[in-house]
Amino acid sequence: MTQRSRVLLLIPHLGGGGAERVTALLTSGLSAAKYEVHLGIVTRSCYPSPTLPVSVTVHRMGARRVRAASLPLLRLVWRVRPQMVLSGMAHLNFLVLLLRPLFPAQTRVVVRQNATVSADLDSGRLPAYTRLLYRVLYRAADRVVCQTPEMAADLAEHSRISRTAVEVLPNPIDLDAARSETNPRPWSGPGPHLLAIGRLSTEKGFDLLLEAFWSLRGKFPSADLSILGEGPIRPLLTEICRALQLETAVFLPGYVQHPEIYFQGATLFVLSSRQDGMPNVLLEAAAGGLPIAAFPSSPGVAALLRGKQGVWIAPDISPPALTDTLLGALDSLQPGQRFAHPWIEPFGMHRAIRGYEDLIDRTLAGRR
């Protein structure tokens, strides 16, 4: 019997974001016949954890935050002794690569980049030394995974790593779950019903969406908007709704573990991000057949969506541009209209997981 390769996936926590969903799907999807899969969860979380296969060994480190997890992480790596560590978010990637010289000698390290580096660096939200971390630490990775060619080129430019060390792999998406007939969210009123999903944070642009939605209601006074997610700018969004008198038209239900229950009955999915590498919620909404209105939140997103049927892209990232885009979409759509979005198929679980398994096998064999 062939010995299975031991793989340790790392994530700050499960639930609450796209990177966490990707890690959960990877953990569930990797072949139990080929790999002994371990999942390391670094911090405590208030979000419910998804159900994982019994073949997966889960390790909870319980750190207060990622930067305080050095010793628990080192202890875990030496206890499990994985052939490969796969880390899933930038700030955790930095810690893993910083500690790599202290790992067992044969441990391979692959990191997944979940944001466009230049956009992150230009946002002003990150410490000034982050640019140096990308340049110094990312070269210590055996491979770096990006979701689009545009993101890969951007990463290679700003981290000074070899382009041959960067792999472009699509995020795995559970197409069946997104397309399943579930009990729909009881949308009330005539609509149109707009849906947005994401962490309530500045980069997701929900403040811009609220301004655009307020303008939209001049033509569609019965329109409503549901924004699924939780995060630090909830008080700001609540205040904007109050100032614009949108309290009865905008709903903020918090984190929803299965957002696909909102797909049925939604008129239009809106991606309002100021910046976003390749958001899973966009892919899941497309898998569910929803019409899509979007900001060009990254070159990769714009390239994926441009010219596609059932997709409307704003010319720039501003409330007036989004208002015009939403109006154009709503004027064109028939009630309940759905689209096949065939471009979503490469993101399906089985095809995407095969790409990751091929990467793991090549990396463990020392090949690129």
* Per-domain boundaries in the chain: 5-172+348-364, 180-345
Closest to 264 measured CA to CA, from 337, 335, 185: 185
Place of tokens 């690129």: 368
- Identical fold, 5-172+348-364 and 180-345: yes
pLDDT category of residue 121 using cuts at 50, 70 and 90: confident
Structure tokens at 348: 């399906």
* Ranges 43-47, 157-161, 275-279, 319-323, most confident: 319-323
Question: Can you give the pLDDT at residue 73?
Answer: 96
Over residues 247-295, the pLDDT tens digits come to 999 999 998 888 889 998 999 999 999 988 888 999 999 999 999 999 9
CB 193 within 8 A of CB 162: no
User: What does the alpha-carbon distance between residue 12 and residue 44 come to, in Å, rounded to a whole number?
Assistant: 8
Place of tokens 């998804």: 50
Residues 331, 336, 337, 340, CA torsion sign:
positive
pTM of the predicted structure, to 2 decimals: 0.89
Sheet arrangement for strand 84-87 = 57-63, 35-43, 5-11, 84-87, 108-112, 143-146, 166-168
Considering the chain, what is the average pLDDT of its residues? 91
Over residues 29-45, the pLDDT tens digits come to 999 999 999 999 998 87
Question: Can you give the pLDDT at residue 141?
Answer: 94
Question: Into which CATH architecture does domain 180-345 fall?
Answer: 3-Layer(aba) Sandwich (3.40)
Report how far apart, in Å, the C-alpha atoms of 354 and of each of 23, 92, 179, 357, 358 are.
15, 24, 21, 5, 6
Over residues 59-82, the pLDDT tens digits come to 999 888 888 899 999 999 999 999
Place domain 5-172+348-364 in its CATH homologous superfamily.
Glycogen Phosphorylase B; (3.40.50.2000)
